[in-house]
Amino acid sequence: MPSLVQPLVSKPSGSLKGEITPPGDKSISHRAVMLGGIAEGVTAVRGLLEGEDVLRTVGALRKLGAKIERTVDGVWHITGVGLDGLKASKNVLDMGNSGTAARLLIGLLSGRSFSTSFTGDASLCKRPMNRVIDPLSQMGATFKSTDGKLPLSVTGSASPTPLTYRLPVASAQVKSAVLLAGLSAKGVTTVIETTPTRDHSENMLRHFGAKVMVEKRDNTEAISIEGGHALKARDIVVPGDISSAAFPMVAALLRPGSNITLNHVGMNPRRAGLIDTLIEMGAKISLQNKRTEGGEAVADLVVRGTGELKGVTVPAERAASMIDEYPLLAAAAACAQGTTRMLGLHELRVKESDRLSRIAEGLKRCGVTLEVTGDDLTVQGTGQAPAGGGFIETAMDHRIAMSFLVLGSATVAPIRIDDGAFITTSFPGFVGIMNGLGMKIDFLKV
């Protein structure tokens, strides 16, 4: 992880103009590296997110025996070891700040008959791992952990037990961990979810030749995988990350006269909740050149800023499709006319930080009226520029950092954040890209 603190300040800007391709989708990048690592043959990945989180996954797969190389043209070539070819790492796998890398790799290694130790940075070591430990233990893996958090060790089962598991919380990471463990089980492993979550794992498993079935059952969805089948290497083009595209998108919407184009953005419908919400708020966002690549919906987005968003109510059932975007939506709501209610945000409390608390504290420091009631957040916008001027403690959370920098482009006074170093986990080059569109973000002396 970045070791040097990078305080930043975001100053009010004019309209944003330009055309960019956002960094590669982080969720898809993680999965491409993992599945390429256990496939038979060589997988070529174009557009891989080269942020700190994904590079942790690359490093882990290398330690586990996969050969991974990047050529000068930016293509990553992964020589897989086959379904049963991973080897025990001589070193602890340090997953840095990445909950996705940690939980999915724990699932993948739960079907391997050797022991692996995991750790992470201070933020990741506070995040709950019992949500994957519980189902994976039922499949035969054994764990050593003092409090259900990292650091922990997992000893996988040589013959995992197929499982039917009903998700207690909506979590694509838990679903994926169980499905990855199910790759090595002799039989069918099924995950039942009552709230649909992002389905990148299912899409990519199919892309590599796994036998994945999805069945609607009453008000639930059952995702099943038949274990024991080899995966075959497949080339992958990673679309731009909609969660990263969201930052220039909202920044443009908050500055009247803005006109930007975001190319090759992944438009998986289970990730598009923010776009749906912004359009309800009156945002001018058009989707062009819609297509499907590697099982994922992709489009180019044209965003025009009018500075005339209005408050809406965001239902709890939409949370799974935009859980990472609530800090940014809160920034937009602070600039909108009227009241925005965001319901059912309990999962924000167990992200890289307690994001609900970070959002509320940061907005208050910027003169925004709000209320947190249980797991619901209500933001009162006036349709005018918020006061700004706040100093934001990011708690090592990249999305909190980027969201308040975006807000700073639309406030009366600049907004400072204590540390932007962790932005590289998901959005390398963020400051340069945003300034290239017209924002005014500067580095401050420590």
pLDDT at 339 over 70: yes
DSSP state of 164: E
The C-alpha torsion from 69 through 238 and 189 to 346, rounded to 10°, is 120
pLDDT per position as a tens digit, 115-167: 999 999 998 999 999 999 999 999 999 999 989 999 999 999 999 999 999 99
Averaged pLDDT score across all residues of the chain: 96
The predicted structure's pLDDT at residue 295: 78
Q: For residues 207 and 36, is the Cβ–Cβ distance under 8 A? A: no
pLDDT at 1 over 60: no
Token representation of residue 94: 């340090």
Show the CA angle centred on residue 312, arms to residues 16 and 269, nearest 5°.
70
3-state secondary structure 74-104: CCEEEECCCCCCCCCCCCCEECCCCHHHHHH
Cα–Cα distance for residue pair 93/207, rounded to 1 Å: 27
- DSSP state letters, 341-380: EE---GGGGGSSS-HHHHHHHHHHHTT-EEEEETTEEEEE
pLDDT at 3 over 70: no
Q: Which of 20, 18, 12 is nearest to 307 (CA)?
A: 12
pLDDT per position as a tens digit, 67-95: 999 999 999 999 999 999 999 999 999 99
Helices 355-365 and 398-408: crossing angle, nearest 10°? 20
Q: Which of 121, 324, 397, 419 is catalytic?
A: 324
pLDDT per position as a tens digit, 234-270: 999 999 999 999 999 999 999 999 999 999 999 999 9
Residue ranges of domains in the chain, CATH in brackets: 8-24+239-443 (3.65.10.10), 26-236 (3.65.10.10)
Q: What pTM was computed for the model?
A: 0.92
Q: State the pLDDT confidence band at 353, using cuts at 50, 70 and 90.
A: confident
Q: How far is CA 71 from CA 19, 44, 51, 81, 349, in A?
A: 26, 10, 17, 20, 39
Q: Which residue has the tokens 């890209």?
A: 433
pLDDT at 445 over 90: no
pLDDT per position as a tens digit, 33-64: 999 999 999 999 999 999 999 999 999 999 99
* Residue 404 three-state SS: helix
Judge whether 324 counts as a catalytic residue: yes
DSSP state of 327: H
Cα–Cα distance for residue pair 130/154, rounded to 1 Å: 12
Q: For residues 7 and 410, is the Cβ–Cβ distance under 8 A? A: no
